Amino acid sequence: MRLIAVLLVIIILALAAWGIYQLTIGQARRHRLTQHREATWRFRHYTRDGDTVVAVSKVAPESEEVLEEQVVKRFASTDPDWEDLFLAARLEAEQRAFHLNADGNLP
Instruction: Give phi and psi for 98, each to the nearest 5.
Output: -60, -50
Does 107 score more than 70 pLDDT? Answer: no
Question: Residue 48's closest CA among 85, 86, 76?
Answer: 76
Q: Where are the domains of the chain?
A: 1-38, 39-104
* Mean pLDDT (whole number) for 94-104: 89
Model pTM greater than 0.85?
no
Does 55 score more than 50 pLDDT? Answer: yes
Does 106 score more than 80 pLDDT? Answer: no
Residues 6+ apart with CB under 8 A from 63: 35
